[in-house]
Amino acid sequence: MVIRVRHLWNKTTREVQFYLTSLNTNAQIIGRVIRKHWGIENQAY
């Protein structure tokens, strides 16, 4: 489960997402991968 909070101007939004995987790993590693993915996706060009 990932909770994203976004503050834009005077509005705050909260989004909850669930991720399923068959990878044999732990939650800390998966969390880093998810944050890295969204960091690249949200990067300003």
pLDDT tens digit sequence for 2-38: 788 888 888 999 999 887 888 787 888 888 887 887 7
State residue 2 phi and psi, 5-degree precision.
-125, 130
- d(CA 41, CA 13) in angstroms, rounded, equals 18
pLDDT value at residue 28: 87
Can you tell me which residue has the tokens 């068959």? 22
Domain range for 29: 2-41
How many domains does one find in the chain? 1
